[in-house]
Chains A and B, each alone.
Chain A
Amino acid sequence: MVLLRFTLSEEGVNALRDALACLNKFSDEVSLEAKRDKLVFTALNSSKSAYAAFSFITNRFFSKYQYEGVAQNREKFFCKLYNRALLSLFRARTGDSLHDPEKGGSVIERCDVAVEDEAGKKSRFIVKIACRNGMTTKYRLPFEVSPPVHAKFDKDEAIHSWTISSRTLRQLMDHFGPGIEYLDIHSEDDSTVNFTCFTEKVASGDEVLKKPLHTSIAVEKEEFDSFDVSEDKLHIVVSVKDFRAITQHAAFLGSEVSAQYSMPSRPMQIRYDGDGVKCEFLLMTVGERGAPGQRTKKTRAGARSAPRAQQLEAATSRATSNAPTPAPRPTPATRHDDYQWEPVRMNEDEDEEEGDARLEWDASDRPNPSAVKMSSVIANQTAQRRGPGPGPDNSVEPDQALSYLEPTQRLSQARQFGLFND
C-alpha cells in the first residue's frame, strides 16, 4: 500500500538536496514526517545539542502530493532514512552538453517518490527519477519506522532576537578560518555587535602554531535588520560547525535569518523561510549565565585561560551527574507528542569526550542512542522493518511511546547548581 506519494520538479529536487545536505551536517540519518499539509525532514545530532527541521509546505513545494495515512495513525507517517543514500540519489546530475546542447543544463524531468508500507511486504522508500533523455532510474531504500525526536523551544522565554540577511551572515562567517569551534555573539555597545570565534582545543605535540585562536569581528548594528537584545553584554556561544551549516544553507535561499534566544545554556532558535519551505534550527548554547563579564575577561586573557574554562564546565557537569539518583520517574501528565529537551546525564561513567562535557542534552530516554542508528541496521543488512536487532522497540504504539517521557531529575535537584537563578 502506498502511504505517501509526491512528485518533485527539478528545482524541487535541488531544493530538497540542499536541505538534505544541510541535515547531513547534523546527523547521518534523517527523520521524515509526513502529514497532509506538510512534509518535515528533521535531524538531531548525536550529542543532542543541535536540531534541524525543514518543513515543506506540500501544496507549494511539490507538483503533486498525496498522503494516504496508515490505519493505526491517520494523522501522520514517520520514518528514518539513511541520509547518505538519499543524498546520492538526489545528487546533482551533470547535463550532457555534448550530445544535447540545448538541454545541457537540465537533466531531471520529474522525480516521483512513494513510500510503501504494508504487512507482509517489504517497506520501501521508492524514488523514481525520470531523466529528460528518457532514462528512468528507480531506487528502493529500506527505512525504519521510528518516531522523530523533536526539540522543543519555548518562545516566551526567548526574549532576545535579531534578524539579518543571510548573505551578510554568510559573508561574516567566511572571515573565520578553519579549526574553530565556538562562536560567541555579543553586543559590545549601542552600535556594534561582536562575533568572536574561538576554540578551546589545544594542539597536542610540538606544533608551531598552537591553538587556541580568537578571531573577532565587530559588526555595525545597522547590518542587522533588527537587533533586540535587552540585556547588555550578553554572551551567547554556539558551535561554529552547526552555525556554519545553517548559514550556508540560508545563503542558498537568500532570505532573512532570524535568531531568538534567552540566555546561555538555553537553546537558541534560528529560522528562515524559502519558497515553500520553512527551516528551523535549535542550537544549544554554551556557557554559564551570570558571569558574562568574567567570560569576556577570560576570552581576552587569551590562550591559557580558555581550556580552564572548559574544565570548569566539565566539572560542573560531573557534579551534576554525581547528584543523587534521579527520583522515581513519575508518569508525566498527558503531554503532546513532542519530546522535550531535558538535561540528562545518562552516561555517568563516561569520560567526557570533548564537547560532551557541556552539551549533554538528551531528548529521549533511550539508554544507548547509538544502538538506534540506522547505519547499524544497515550494517546488519536486516532489511526487514520489524526485524530483530538493536533497533528501538517498534511494537510500542508510537503515540504511547511518545507520551512516556521520563524526567531524569527533579528541578529542585538541579536548582542547587545555580543554573536557574532567575
Chain B
Amino acid sequence: MASSVRSGSPQPPLFKAIASSTRQIYQLLKCISFTAKVHVQITQDGIRFAADHSRVMQGVAFLDKELFTTYTLNLAENEDGALPQFQINLAAFLEALQIFGASDVAAKQAKSEAEPYRSNLRNYRPDAFSHQTLGVPGTCCLLYEEDGSPLSIILEETGVKTRCNMVTYTPEQPDDIPFDRDDLAFKIIMHSKWLLDSLSELAPMSPTRITISASPNAPFLALSSGGALGSASVDFTSGRDLLDTFTIDTKWTQSFKFDLVKSATEAMRVASKVSFRGDGQGVLSLQFMVEVEGGTTSFLDFRFVPYIAQNDDDEMDTDEEEED
C-alpha cells in the first residue's frame, strides 16, 4: 500500500549506476564466476559481489563506485539504513554484460579457439580494434528499483538499447570465511604472475590437492602437489627477491583442494599483484590487486579453508618432496 501511495510522484530508484564501459566490471566479475549464484550487496562505496563454494572457498569482487560515472544509492529513511542485498545468477549477469560489444567478444572467442594457448595468455589485454578503443559510444546502466525488484541492466550502444532484467533472489547471507587479520601467520606480496606460473607448473600432474608452505628461511615459499602422473613442487629458494614483501614468524604448512585454488587463476591472470596471507587457523587469503585503465585499482579477495591436517601421510609423494 505504502508504495502505491508513493508512486504518485515518480520515486527515484533505490539504486542506479551508469558506467561508460562494461569491460572492467566484466573482467572483475569473471574472476569469481566459479559458482552459479553470487551474493550482491550495494553499499555507498560500491557493489560487493561474493561467491561462495560449499563454504570452503569464497571469492569477493568489489566494484568501486569509481568504476561508474554516476552512482546513486537512495536509502529510504524508514528502512533503518539497511543496505540492499540479493542474489543473482552470475553467469546470466556476465552474459548480459557481454551484449555490449558482443561482436568483439565473438571475434575474440573465435581467435582463442583457433589458437588454444592464446586463450590463457593475457586475453584481457586491450584489443586495438575493440569498440571501446575505437571510441564507439555506449553506456551501461545498472538499475535496482526497490527491494525485491529485478536488477536491470540497460545497455546502449550506437543507438541500440538493450534492457535485461535479472531475477533477484532472497539473500542467503552466508557468513564470510573467518580470516583473522590479527593472527597472521605470514604475509607475502608478489606479482600474481609468479603465483600463476607456479600453479601452471603443478597443473600438468593433475593433482587433487596442493600443499602450500611458507617458512622463514629457504625455500621461503613452496607449493607442492602429487597426482596420478607424478608429483611436482615449486619453490622460491633462489627467488627470494620475487617476493616483494615477506613477513613470517614460524613455518606454516597447509593443504588445499587444487581445483579450488585453480579456480582463482583468472584473477591471477588479470591482477598485477597478490597479497598472499595465512592465518593461525590455516585459512588462506589471496587478495589480488587489479589495475584497470584509468588508474583505478580494484581488489579481488579469495579465501580458502584448508584440509584438516592429518597425522598419517596418505599424501605419499608430496611429503618426501621436502627432504632436500
A85 touches B194 (CB 8 A): no
8 interchain pairs, CB-CB under 8 A: A122-B317, A122-B320, A134-B239, A135-B242, A137-B198, A140-B317, A141-B230, A378-B228
B229 touches A133 (CB 8 A): no
Expressed in whole angstroms, the Cα–Cα distance for A91 and B197 within the complex equals 13
Contact of A94 among B121, B228, B237, B241 (CB under 8 A): B121
Closest B residue, CB atoms, query A88: B204
Nearest-neighbour CB distance to chain A for B101, whole angstroms, equals 25
In the assembled complex, which residues on chain B have CB atoms less than 8 Å from the CB atom of A130?
238
A140 touches B234 (CB 8 A): no
Expressed in whole angstroms, the Cα–Cα distance for A378 and B205 within the complex equals 12
Nearest-neighbour CB distance to chain B for A123, whole angstroms, equals 12
A residues 72-95 in Cβ contact with B at 8 Å: 82, 84-85, 88-89, 91, 93-94
Main secondary structure of the interface of B (DSSP, over half): mixed
Closest B residue, CB atoms, query A93: B197
A85 touches B241 (CB 8 A): no
Instruction: Tell whether A410 is near chain B: CB-to-CB under 8 Å.
Output: no
Expressed in whole angstroms, the Cα–Cα distance for A130 and B237 within the complex equals 10
Contact indicator per residue, chain B 93-129, by CB within 8 Å of chain A (1) or not (0): 0000000000000000000000000000100000000
Closest A residue, CB atoms, query B219: A136
Contact of A137 among B228, B234, B241, B316 (CB under 8 A): B234
B232 touches A137 (CB 8 A): yes
In the assembled complex, which residues on chain B have CB atoms less than 8 Å from the CB atom of A85?
204-205, 229-230
Contact indicator per residue, chain B 203-241, by CB within 8 Å of chain A (1) or not (0): 011000000000000010000000011111111111111
Contact of A134 among B121, B205, B231, B242 (CB under 8 A): B242
Instruction: Tell whether B201 is near chain A: CB-to-CB under 8 Å.
Output: yes
Expressed in whole angstroms, the Cα–Cα distance for A124 and B238 within the complex equals 24
A135 touches B194 (CB 8 A): yes
Expressed in whole angstroms, the Cα–Cα distance for A141 and B320 within the complex equals 13
Counting residue pairs across A and B whose Cβ atoms lie within 8 Å, the total is 78
Expressed in whole angstroms, the Cα–Cα distance for A91 and B204 within the complex equals 10
Contact of B197 among A89, A135, A139, A383 (CB under 8 A): A135
Instruction: Tell whether B321 is near chain A: CB-to-CB under 8 Å.
Output: yes
Contact of A135 among B229, B234, B316 (CB under 8 A): B234
Nearest-neighbour CB distance to chain A for B141, whole angstroms, equals 34
B229 touches A136 (CB 8 A): no
In the assembled complex, which residues on chain A have CB atoms less than 8 Å from the CB atom of B121?
94
Q: How many residues of B contact A (CB 8 A)?
A: 29
Interface residues of B (CB under 8 A from A): 121, 191, 193-194, 197-198, 201, 204-205, 219, 228-242, 316-317, 320-321
Instruction: Tell whether A297 is near chain B: CB-to-CB under 8 Å.
Output: no
In the assembled complex, which residues on chain A have CB atoms less than 8 Å from the CB atom of B198?
135, 137
B193 touches A139 (CB 8 A): no
Instruction: Tell whether A407 is near chain B: CB-to-CB under 8 Å.
Output: no
Instruction: Tell whether A138 is near chain B: CB-to-CB under 8 Å.
Output: yes
In the assembled complex, which residues on chain B have CB atoms less than 8 Å from the CB atom of A136?
219, 234-239
A residues 363-392 in Cβ contact with B at 8 Å: 378-379, 381, 383
Nearest-neighbour CB distance to chain A for B238, whole angstroms, equals 5
Nearest-neighbour CB distance to chain A for B220, whole angstroms, equals 10
In the assembled complex, which residues on chain A have CB atoms less than 8 Å from the CB atom of B240?
134
B197 touches A138 (CB 8 A): no
In the assembled complex, which residues on chain A have CB atoms less than 8 Å from the CB atom of B321?
138, 140
In the assembled complex, which residues on chain B have CB atoms less than 8 Å from the CB atom of A99?
191, 193
The CB with the most chain A CB atoms within 10 A, among B240, B317, B321, is that of B317
B229 touches A84 (CB 8 A): yes
Expressed in whole angstroms, the Cα–Cα distance for A141 and B206 within the complex equals 13
Instruction: Tell whether A157 is near chain B: CB-to-CB under 8 Å.
Output: no
Instruction: Tell whether A96 is near chain B: CB-to-CB under 8 Å.
Output: yes
B191 touches A141 (CB 8 A): no
A142 touches B230 (CB 8 A): yes
Nearest-neighbour CB distance to chain A for B207, whole angstroms, equals 12
> Can you add 17 more A-B contacts, CB < 8 Å, to A88-B204, A135-B239, A378-B229?
A88-B205, A94-B121, A96-B193, A98-B193, A133-B194, A135-B197, A135-B235, A136-B236, A136-B239, A137-B232, A137-B233, A138-B235, A138-B321, A141-B229, A141-B230, A379-B228, A383-B317
